[in-house]
Structure 1
Amino acid sequence: MNPIVVFQEHGEILAYWCERRYLKETVICFDRHLDLKKIPSQQVLRLLAVKNDPLAIRSLNRDIPFRDDDMFAYGLDNFVYAAITLNYINRFIWVVPELHSISTRDLAIILWDQLSLIPDHGNEIIETFCRSSFSAKANIKNVSIEITTLSRLPYITNISNSHIDIDLDFFCNPIGDLEHTAEDLVQTLVKMGVHRQVESITYSISSGFLPSQYRYLADAITNLLDRNIDLRSIGRKHASRSLGIIATGKNIEDQILDELWTDELRILGASGWSLRALLEARMGKLSASTSSYYTARLAGDRATWAAYVIGMEFLKRGDYATAESWFQEASIEIIDTIQSHALIMHTLCLCRSRKMEIALKRARVCFLRIPMCIQAYKLGAIAAESLCVKDCSDWCQAQIKNLKLISQQ
């Protein structure tokens, strides 16, 4: 048996799929995250130009997960979209954790929520969205995206030639509790007769999604499968402690921030300033956060994530006018799901500030770019009713009803 290839971070697997000459393959992926954010068209062109060159694909993988510039084409949060674009896969089965029983209706809602903020693909998803007894699924660029759980996986059909990929954060929730065991997963795969199809494992430790004490899970899985590990990457250190704090939602004080800046962030330049701005915003230090944000921008990072978090903090304080400006800053481009949600939040702030004409215009942008997002139609209806535009209000209400029927069928 071939060894199981192990990566530090999930985006590294794209070059491996290129190396293995994947073409319209079925991938079963155990993961807590979908990793299906959109990639800008200019970066898609860069990927297509080297689609058969593993080394070139690897060189386009983002070095820092939160880098927000045009240096790299993809990363750990959107490599599945890259694989779809490169025609490596035509079916992606996303197996999500299930600590407590999840109904297929719940699965449909999870998938809808995950896909609803992907811009410019909403109409195809709406048209293909459906739920079965064991999963929910929809298409993106004619590729099937299906969600299920470990307990339901044996009932999924046509997977005898699939490739199995495991992100170890599947096992562990954000606060560090295990929700599955290696034994549970392997036993299920053995019963299904697909255990030999496990090809790859990802640690996801340096990105903050898996506490380092669970690194042993890779060894546990490979031992249970009587396989060896082929460690393909030594990984890159990129603020794992800071990312872990963000992932778990922990509160920090000034001393910890100073340590993070000295130990992790300062060396990262513009991206480090961007992450510092985000941490400062979560600490309520909005003046310092704003300063760090603009430092990041001047140094070349878009700092979208930071702008979004700053906006959310002002929104929590009821300062809608200031929050509005930050959400507008974060939604200048609509590619990432954070930018899509910033567009929604910008529309919300406009409504709360009673700027209804502008709010309706922004809502119409939402209808066009992210047509799955029910909240956009709710805000559009509020603005239209306030402006006495009855036809628009009625249309928004009809869209809300229709989308709820599809997403919760």
Structure 2
Amino acid sequence: MPVDVDLFEEHGEVAALWPDRPYHGRTVVCFDRHLDLKPLAPGGEKALRATRDGNVSPAELVRRLPVRGVPGAFGLDDFWSAAAVVAGLTDLVWVPSWRSYAGWQAHAVDSVSLIRTGGTPTEPRTDGCCLTVTLCGVRLAVVPPDLLARHLDRHVHMDVVTDIDLDWLVDEHGRFEHTAQDLAGLVGVCGGALAAMTWSTRSGFLPAEYRTVGTDVAARLGLRARESSFLPTTPWPEDLMLHVHRGTAVPGPGPAHKEGGPEQGIAVALHGLAQAGLSPGRAEECFERAAGYGYRSSWLAYKIGAARYALGDHRTAREYLREAVRLDPEDTLGAHARIMGARATLRLEGPAAALSEFRALGAELPLRRGVWKTVRVLASAEGDTDTTRAAEGQLRLLERLTVPGAAEPDAEGM
């Protein structure tokens, strides 16, 4: 008789399994197109810790909608950080969808470089099969799928439990990069139990026509998929988030209703996101309309800022980018916004003011190569030899991380 495996709509819903402590004393191997690890939003950790004392399931704190800035302590993009707080997660192997190639270690470092460290040492290392780094209280390994067997043999000494986000199978355009058999074979290499699978259709990462792939993967593993999603349906068309991620045209959000509330504000913001690149003016209108319903979108603010920056309107760009940071300072999107905002400062106020912003960014993002390159250039231009030397040291360390057997860290903050 096949064993059931839970199949969720959205990745954060795996929190429903956490009371059973599926990660305790185990290494979690996660197949996912995206790394869902970043600092929790303000108040998130405190709310999660309270669940341990009040016999409340962490699943009660999952955001009910697939966007940030709505009630909830965590969601689809930061649930692994939540798992480190309340679910016993200590070791995570992230298997991205891209395969190894010459110099892949630089890609791996870049993929984690926007996760704020809060000044905590990250202890990065690379070898022939992985990047390892400590982030958000988790010992993380980034391992391309073709190197997974080697990594497990060399570095994993605990029992393994696997987790699958089915968007791993497709690229950002909805084209298959891997087959169901590829995925099942890799899960078989891991051994141990399969904890859960996720569609990620509701959040726009897996096209709806591919939803049957979940039962296919389960069957290839001798399992039976059990639909276990508990989140409500979204108050907008199912394919809206898919259009948002692809930046393609969507129908208008419909007439305004005074009683619409935050949910209508979110729908308006999502429509603004879908057209921000081509029409930042319309996106700005959507931002203000959404705010009128009580929802201020950091994502939309960032997109408007990026579009205005590309058009050379650096002052307006910086205003929106700073608003994105103010609304959600812990998000990796906020880190993007800070970097672009600092570039706008360079154009508006010159190198001295920009150096101050980039130096602060370097302290929070020690693995972000572009930040340290800019710090070096600006510090040299300003005659700041101490900062120039610090930047050069950090860049040497980052360069060594692209070579197997990286040396010990020699720069503060790493």
- TM-score, normalised to structure 1's length? 0.87
Number of the residue aligned with 2:139: 144
Number of the residue aligned with 1:29: 30
CA distance in 2, matches of 1:391, 1:154: 44
Alpha-carbon distance change, 44 to 193 in structure 1, aligned in 2, over 3 angstroms: closer
Alpha-carbon distance change, 44 to 123 in structure 1, aligned in 2, over 3 angstroms: closer
Amino acid at match of 1:368: A
1:377 to 358, 368, 372: 372
Alpha-carbon distance change, 183 to 9 in structure 1, aligned in 2, over 3 angstroms: same
Amino acid at match of 2:232: R
% identity of equivalent residues: 25
Checking the alignment, whether the CA contact within 8 Å between 1:104 and 1:131 is kept in structure 2 is: no
Alpha-carbon distance change, 351 to 152 in structure 1, aligned in 2, over 3 angstroms: same
Q: CA deviation at 1:298?
A: 4.2
Alpha-carbon distance change, 57 to 295 in structure 1, aligned in 2, over 3 angstroms: same
> Counterparts in 2 of 1:217-366, with a 5 A limit?
217-233=213-229, 235-238=231-234, 239=236, 240-250=238-248, 252=249, 256-258=250-252, 260-261=253-254, 268-284=263-279, 286-332=280-326, 334-366=329-361
Per-residue CA shift, 1:330-361, capped at 9, x if unaligned?
Answer: 22252111111111111111112343332122
Greater CA deviation, 364-373 or 377-386? Answer: 377-386
Number of the residue aligned with 1:173: 171
Q: CA deviation at 1:261?
A: 4.5
- Asked if 1:91 is matched to 2:88, the reply is no
Checking the alignment, whether the CA contact within 8 Å between 1:104 and 1:134 is kept in structure 2 is: no
Per-residue CA shift, 1:86-144, capped at 9, x if unaligned?
Answer: 2521111111224xx523741x323322321111356522xx21122222211225532
Number of the residue aligned with 2:409: none
Amino acid at match of 1:129: P
CA distance in 2, matches of 1:187, 1:405: 33
Number of the residue aligned with 2:17: 16
Alpha-carbon distance change, 142 to 279 in structure 1, aligned in 2, over 3 angstroms: closer
CA distance in 1, matches of 2:386, 2:158: 51
Checking the alignment, whether the CA contact within 8 Å between 2:26 and 2:158 is kept in structure 1 is: no
CA distance in 1, matches of 2:12, 2:55: 13
Checking the alignment, whether the CA contact within 8 Å between 2:245 and 2:274 is kept in structure 1 is: no
CA distance in 1, matches of 2:7, 2:90: 23
Checking the alignment, whether the CA contact within 8 Å between 1:19 and 1:53 is kept in structure 2 is: no
SS of aligned partner of 2:132: strand
2:363 to 368, 375, 380: 368
Checking the alignment, whether the CA contact within 8 Å between 1:37 and 1:336 is kept in structure 2 is: yes
Q: Counting helix residues as a fraction of each chain, which structure ranks higher?
A: 1
SS of aligned partner of 2:171: coil
Amino acid at match of 2:115: I
Alpha-carbon distance change, 164 to 119 in structure 1, aligned in 2, over 3 angstroms: same
Q: CA deviation at 1:31?
A: 0.7
SS of aligned partner of 1:26: strand
SS of aligned partner of 2:57: helix
Amino acid at match of 2:215: D
Checking the alignment, whether the CA contact within 8 Å between 2:39 and 2:136 is kept in structure 1 is: no
Q: CA deviation at 1:48?
A: 0.9
Greater CA deviation, 28-37 or 399-408? Answer: 399-408
Per-residue CA shift, 1:142-168, capped at 9, x if unaligned?
Answer: 532112233322221336621111111
Number of the residue aligned with 1:110: 107
Q: CA deviation at 1:387?
A: 3.4
Amino acid at match of 1:384: A
Checking the alignment, whether the CA contact within 8 Å between 2:358 and 2:371 is kept in structure 1 is: yes
Number of the residue aligned with 1:42: 43
- TM-score, normalised to structure 2's length? 0.86
Alpha-carbon distance change, 132 to 207 in structure 1, aligned in 2, over 3 angstroms: same
Alpha-carbon distance change, 61 to 337 in structure 1, aligned in 2, over 3 angstroms: same
CA distance in 1, matches of 2:44, 2:285: 30
Q: CA deviation at 1:407?
A: 5.0
Amino acid at match of 2:92: F
Q: CA RMSD in A?
A: 2.6
Amino acid at match of 1:167: D
Amino acid at match of 2:233: K
> Counterparts in 2 of 1:55-94, with a 5 A limit?
56-69=57-70, 71-94=71-94
Checking the alignment, whether the CA contact within 8 Å between 1:39 and 1:78 is kept in structure 2 is: yes
> Counterparts in 2 of 1:118-197, with a 5 A limit?
118-121=115-118, 123-125=120-122, 128-155=123-150, 156-157=152-153, 158=156, 161-190=159-188, 192=189, 194=191, 197=193
Number of the residue aligned with 2:412: none
Number of the residue aligned with 1:198: 194
Checking the alignment, whether the CA contact within 8 Å between 2:19 and 2:57 is kept in structure 1 is: no
